[in-house]
Structure 1
């Protein structure tokens, strides 16, 4: 019986090649989109599952409430580690402080720059690192380190690195005791390429064991086997509160299973985050596959009259309706299986580009049994869904009416097809509108004034002892090269804020008002180098000896303090007086979608970590770098010349939204393509069905334009209905999405108008081929056929 079903299905495919091609092409594209999204979703949901301790590890999150909203962040204090070990030993199996940063690793003349962590002895076991050489049992030794395979290859080649010495930051000699397998990209610690012992004398944070007010490190914990995350969080919540008078501080354990997908906090609770993207693209994948299934349903039911006699004859000789249903479902499953073969080809071709856009390293898991089970199950499901409506519809025909020639499908028979076309274009138009709004939001934020000039700015991290203490000499040498306009040092780049502090006081401040400010230490030439804009007072100057402890505040800080004329006023920080010499326009140093951070810039040359250079616009960047590098080699011989373009770092802030926009664009284009395939097939069928009507009209004098309009109007009406449904849906969901951002664009009427016009134009282009072909056909030939 099954062999017979397959034989009939193949005969129908050969007989109706265009119909078969459209069905297989539509299904394969829809299935390819669904498969790509499915692989992406699986990668997201399996984030950090590489670690066998996945269900027991968590991170300490700190929540503070001062006079502003509750803020939750990852930075905690060093003495908390020992306190938790002492007071809550039964609740924790392992505890580790870490401090992640970029370091220079050197072996002889080989030097590389990599991200690594100072970490306590429990960290490697907590992450269940897979050791390929050596072990981490001696990691508590302050002179030891463990490295990844990639670092081992870079520094030692094929030689055995165990017990070899690596010099970190040109000052710390560490012995390699183990090499671990590189972590996969879908892990939080993917970029951490080595671990160094936290309580090494060269780690500044190891000196902060009694500093309860200095948040900066991160802390990870592994719960005891019988402990519960919520109960432990409740138990330790107020551990640090006694050490703070200004803030109401609580801590909690955030499980590893939520790090990646639930990292947005509101009032101390993880309310969402990347999980929203997972849901979004998961829903898009389902709808794109649904569009492909709709094509199959529409084309199968549209051709119902052609198969009516087949149904009538088979019923008259004894076929049961259930057998007919199985026949039509078998055909649709066969189509789905053929589409699956094409899908694999599409996915394999598309995967490299998809990975680049999605910033992933996804591979087809052909060796995974579950993948094949899911792929075949997914194909079977798609085939049944696509063929269910045609199977039940076609098998319901009355054989007597069909064979007598009195069977007519009737007007109502086309209603389900029209509904499905409306659904198709509703989904497609929502995707188009959403894509436009996403890219408009990105462009709106990109065009936001940032308060300084990014063009030509470079940042170099100060990562070895040699580079400190040569500011004036180094600046003079760099300026003499003729390649740069100026140079400055700071404790934050223009694209990040590394320190926030409270404890500020000023005249007229309420005793109960305790705001925090971004605290940015700079040298004299910072303002001239970055090109900030002074709105009141003046810049820092060597001509004023008092500027060694002076403040410059930004406009947000001025607003927060409530000072009317701050220049010349005294602000105290930690009880020490500082003269305010100027006010600058807000600089966007963090998210371009959020409001500027209230910031205080202070003259503090001893508290700097970054060098910022401005290259002259009249010199080519490559030529400038050739002149700059020798100067850095002179003052920092222990480090490779490693720099970052401030422009590129700023552009990176848009990466998540850009990724959403790029993926949404691809899916929108494919959704339109699938919908147009369906329209193309339906237009072909309707033109064929009405060929005699068109012949009669043409004989009676109808023009080609009139006939084109006759055949196109029905589809334009359906797309217009789709627009009426899609526009309010898109507005509702995209308006909610935009409200996630403090700084956001508006949704204007032209977005909907452009999407609507575009959808109608695409529809007309799709159906016009068959409409014009039918209108140009010789009416005599068509009418003579009977």
Structure 2
């Protein structure tokens, strides 16, 4: 019997080629979308699952509650982990990581080896404790993990970098130099396997020891500067929630409150009560850090987007199921006599239901096969859009069982209504020609089409808002001039010659100005720049230390980047005292409660005199407010920024490269553009917009297939009516309007339903940005207009076909 069902289903598939193609095509595209989103979601959920005992590994997070405003961060003072290990016996390991490029050696470097003097640029440097190696139990390919980083000036590298710099060799004991500094050789003491791509540490390849490190005098005992990320591994059986309370109480009472008292903070107990320390499971770092101010050295995911994209996948799949139902019922007339004859010759309704469900299963299985092929073909494009390097899971055991189960489930869901509907025809009425072509109540099909277009309009509006916010970000006046600024990287290798190099660059004809510094007003390589705790020397600040950023610049920095002074003056070479002077931004002046900041003295462990206040400018992200900033004269600059005219950029770059080659002949020049770096800070927003755009187009396409099916159904149902109207003189345009108006009404209802949902969802999304667009009425109007135009084009095909048909054929049976 099953063989007969399959044979009949296959014949019907070949008989109605157009409808079969639409059914399978719509299903296949939706299944491909679901597979791609599923691969993406699985990859995101797999982050940081590979560490042994990962359920006992946590990152320390600080929370501050200031009058209901909760801020979270992961930057802590250097001595915190030492205090935790010494005072809290529930901790098995406590280790630090310093990913910031604030200090020499972290971030990026020029690398040379004892065997190859060629200078090669590399990223992925970080300082870590030996205890962090022990905590994560990173697998070694060369050397032993125990004590690998105990000695000063040692380094553990990844396997891919070992193969790059020492191919076919055992790298243990080999020497690496950073930035041509042969005074500090780093000895390779171990090689670890590459971090998996689903790890929040996967960008790191060079792990430098923190043993013997002090970036300035007293740095390792300084509780006023926060630059380290802390990780803990709790002992078995320790309750993390109970431990959090112990951790907060111990650290605040023994260390933080005494430091606040020494800094002259009024009522330190009250200020400390606003702070608590919490533990974030390592598995949650990737997806649950949206509200945490951390270094984000690897682009973060967001659990909200996982739910969102999962919902989009289900929407698209449901739209495809709706198409199947509509297209199946649209062809009801052509199957009615078949049902009637089968019932006359003895078929039971259950047999007919099984036959139509088998047909649905066949469509589903074919759609799954084609959908898997589409997903495999489109995966490279999806990777480019999403910024991932996902691999199709051909070798995974679950692929085939999942495909079979999905095909059965989708076939059952999509086919059950048409099966029961078609099997319900009464044979006497059908064979007498009294059969009414279609369901007595069209509300279900109309409701399904409304749902399809509501989902499509929702995606259109979301896409428009996301892209609008991205354009707002790129075009907003941010307080400095990011256009036509070339950033030269790796210039710290010039050491004392960097100022001379800058002066030579300024002599070039197309150069407007140039400056040196250790940081530019964008996140470099995705790394967030943290700073220090600042306070007033007079200790009149009523709150705790102000957390802000600390940059090293020169006297040309403000003018080169087009910043504006609000008070005071710029740095000057003629002022010897400027070596102990700073320029702060308006946010720093406000946070330090400096009504007259010029001449005021502030400290972060070192005392500085404020000589200028620069107007606030955005240098991190428009998702937050302007961060307090302090700038001092550069002592160890790492990059040069060049403001150019932009008339002949290629020629200007050639001239800059020529000057560079005269200073550093063995090191290739590296440069980026400030405006591109600014845009890269919002690559996650741009990727989200691209993903939404892609799925919005797909959802509209599949919805149009459903509308096409309903138009075919309605045209078939009203064939005789159209014939009578044409005989009585109705025009082609009149027939088209008659058949189109009901569909446009359905789309209009969909717009009304989708608009408030989209407005609410996008306003929630925009809350992540301190600066954002307003959602204007025209966004909804334009999205609705697009949906109506697309619907008109879709319906017009069937309407024109019906209007041009010969009425004699439709009335011949009357």
TM-score w.r.t. length of structure 2: 0.89
Asked if the contact 1:509/1:561 (under 8 Å) is kept, the reply is no
- Give the 3 Å change call, closer, same or farther, for CA 669–626 of structure 1 in structure 2: same
User: SS where residue 185 of structure 2 aligns?
Assistant: strand
Among 281, 292, 303, the alignment partner of 1:255 is 281
Task: Summarize deviations over 1:187-232 as a string: whole Å, max 9, x none.
Answer: 111110122222155x638963322222112222222233333233
Asked if the contact 1:81/1:97 (under 8 Å) is kept, the reply is no
User: SS where residue 808 of structure 2 aligns?
Assistant: helix
Asked if the contact 2:622/2:769 (under 8 Å) is kept, the reply is no
Within 5 Å, which residues of 2 pair with 1:386-425?
386-408=414-436, 412-425=440-453
Within 5 Å, which residues of 2 pair with 1:494-509?
494-496=521-523, 498-505=529-536
Indicate yes or no: 2:606 matched with 1:586: no
Among 405, 410, 414, the alignment partner of 1:377 is 405
Asked if the contact 2:485/2:644 (under 8 Å) is kept, the reply is no
Measured in 2, the distance between the counterparts of 1:532 and 1:577 equals 25
Measured in 1, the distance between the counterparts of 2:488 and 2:222 equals 29
Asked if the contact 1:185/1:360 (under 8 Å) is kept, the reply is no
Indicate yes or no: 2:184 matched with 1:155: no
Measured in 2, the distance between the counterparts of 1:389 and 1:62 equals 55
Across the aligned residues of Structure 1 and Structure 2, the Cα RMSD in angstroms comes to 2.9
Measured in 2, the distance between the counterparts of 1:162 and 1:503 equals 42
Measured in 2, the distance between the counterparts of 1:315 and 1:235 equals 77
Measured in 1, the distance between the counterparts of 2:5 and 2:94 equals 62
Indicate yes or no: 2:550 matched with 1:519: yes
Indicate yes or no: 2:119 matched with 1:111: yes
Which deviates more, 303-312 or 205-214? 205-214
What's the offset of the Cα at 1:713? 1.1
User: SS where residue 299 of structure 1 aligns?
Assistant: helix
Measured in 2, the distance between the counterparts of 1:744 and 1:346 equals 37
Asked if the contact 1:239/1:250 (under 8 Å) is kept, the reply is no
Measured in 2, the distance between the counterparts of 1:447 and 1:487 equals 24
Which deviates more, 69-78 or 502-511? 502-511
What's the offset of the Cα at 1:698? 1.3
Measured in 2, the distance between the counterparts of 1:585 and 1:76 equals 28
Asked if the contact 1:491/1:498 (under 8 Å) is kept, the reply is no
Asked if the contact 2:107/2:126 (under 8 Å) is kept, the reply is yes
- Give the 3 Å change call, closer, same or farther, for CA 4–258 of structure 1 in structure 2: same
What's the offset of the Cα at 1:583? 3.3
Structure 1 runs not aligned, ≥5 long: none
Asked if the contact 1:615/1:624 (under 8 Å) is kept, the reply is no
User: SS where residue 106 of structure 1 aligns?
Assistant: strand
- Give the 3 Å change call, closer, same or farther, for CA 373–725 of structure 1 in structure 2: same
User: SS where residue 697 of structure 2 aligns?
Assistant: helix
Q: What is residue 488 of structure 1 aligned with on the other side?
A: 515
Which deviates more, 653-662 or 315-324? 315-324
What's the offset of the Cα at 1:684? 2.7
Q: What is residue 132 of structure 2 aligned with on the other side?
A: 123
- Give the 3 Å change call, closer, same or farther, for CA 134–3 of structure 1 in structure 2: farther
Within 5 Å, which residues of 2 pair with 1:108-257?
108-112=116-120, 113-142=122-151, 143-169=153-179, 170-171=181-182, 172-201=184-213, 204=215, 208-241=219-252, 242-243=255-256, 244-245=259-260, 246=265, 248=272, 249-257=275-283
Asked if the contact 2:333/2:438 (under 8 Å) is kept, the reply is no
Measured in 1, the distance between the counterparts of 2:149 and 2:556 equals 43
- Give the 3 Å change call, closer, same or farther, for CA 348–206 of structure 1 in structure 2: farther
Indicate yes or no: 2:806 matched with 1:768: no
Measured in 2, the distance between the counterparts of 1:506 and 1:208 equals 19
- Give the 3 Å change call, closer, same or farther, for CA 150–630 of structure 1 in structure 2: farther
Q: What is residue 542 of structure 1 aligned with on the other side?
A: 573
- Give the 3 Å change call, closer, same or farther, for CA 332–205 of structure 1 in structure 2: farther
- Give the 3 Å change call, closer, same or farther, for CA 737–70 of structure 1 in structure 2: closer
Asked if the contact 2:95/2:132 (under 8 Å) is kept, the reply is yes
Asked if the contact 2:93/2:134 (under 8 Å) is kept, the reply is no
Among 670, 679, 689, the alignment partner of 1:651 is 679
Task: Summarize deviations over 1:703-759 as a string: whole Å, max 9, x none.
Answer: 111011011111111111111111111112112221222111111111111111111
What's the offset of the Cα at 1:609? 4.0
- Give the 3 Å change call, closer, same or farther, for CA 564–432 of structure 1 in structure 2: same
Asked if the contact 1:67/1:514 (under 8 Å) is kept, the reply is no
Asked if the contact 2:490/2:638 (under 8 Å) is kept, the reply is yes
Task: Summarize deviations over 1:249-292 as a string: whole Å, max 9, x none.
Answer: 43232111110111134899xxx970000000000000000000
Indicate yes or no: 2:600 matched with 1:570: yes
Measured in 2, the distance between the counterparts of 1:704 and 1:633 equals 75
Asked if the contact 1:74/1:218 (under 8 Å) is kept, the reply is yes
Indicate yes or no: 2:457 matched with 1:426: no
Q: What is residue 474 of structure 2 aligned with on the other side?
A: 446
- Give the 3 Å change call, closer, same or farther, for CA 470–644 of structure 1 in structure 2: same
Task: Summarize deviations over 1:427-469 as a string: whole Å, max 9, x none.
Answer: 00111011111111111122211111112323345685x5344
What's the offset of the Cα at 1:664? 0.4
- Give the 3 Å change call, closer, same or farther, for CA 785–323 of structure 1 in structure 2: closer
Task: Give the paired residue count.
Answer: 778
User: SS where residue 236 of structure 2 aligns?
Assistant: coil
- Give the 3 Å change call, closer, same or farther, for CA 510–367 of structure 1 in structure 2: closer
- Give the 3 Å change call, closer, same or farther, for CA 239–523 of structure 1 in structure 2: farther
Measured in 2, the distance between the counterparts of 1:186 and 1:631 equals 42
Within 5 Å, which residues of 2 pair with 1:672-683?
672-683=700-711
Measured in 2, the distance between the counterparts of 1:728 and 1:255 equals 37
Measured in 1, the distance between the counterparts of 2:346 and 2:388 equals 56
Within 5 Å, which residues of 2 pair with 1:241-390?
241=252, 242-243=255-256, 244-245=259-260, 246=265, 248=272, 249-265=275-291, 274-390=302-418
Measured in 2, the distance between the counterparts of 1:637 and 1:69 equals 53
Measured in 1, the distance between the counterparts of 2:593 and 2:68 equals 15
- Give the 3 Å change call, closer, same or farther, for CA 176–472 of structure 1 in structure 2: closer
Asked if the contact 2:515/2:642 (under 8 Å) is kept, the reply is no
Asked if the contact 2:555/2:573 (under 8 Å) is kept, the reply is yes
What's the offset of the Cα at 1:626? 3.6
Within 5 Å, which residues of 2 pair with 1:679-718?
679-718=707-746
Asked if the contact 1:522/1:604 (under 8 Å) is kept, the reply is yes
Q: What is residue 564 of structure 2 aligned with on the other side?
A: 533
User: SS where residue 204 of structure 1 aligns?
Assistant: coil
- Give the 3 Å change call, closer, same or farther, for CA 483–52 of structure 1 in structure 2: farther
- Give the 3 Å change call, closer, same or farther, for CA 739–302 of structure 1 in structure 2: same
Which deviates more, 654-663 or 502-511? 502-511
Indicate yes or no: 2:1 matched with 1:8: no
What's the offset of the Cα at 1:564? 5.8
What's the offset of the Cα at 1:155? 1.1
Which deviates more, 470-479 or 333-342? 470-479
What's the offset of the Cα at 1:382? 1.4
TM-score w.r.t. length of structure 1: 0.92
User: SS where residue 441 of structure 2 aligns?
Assistant: helix
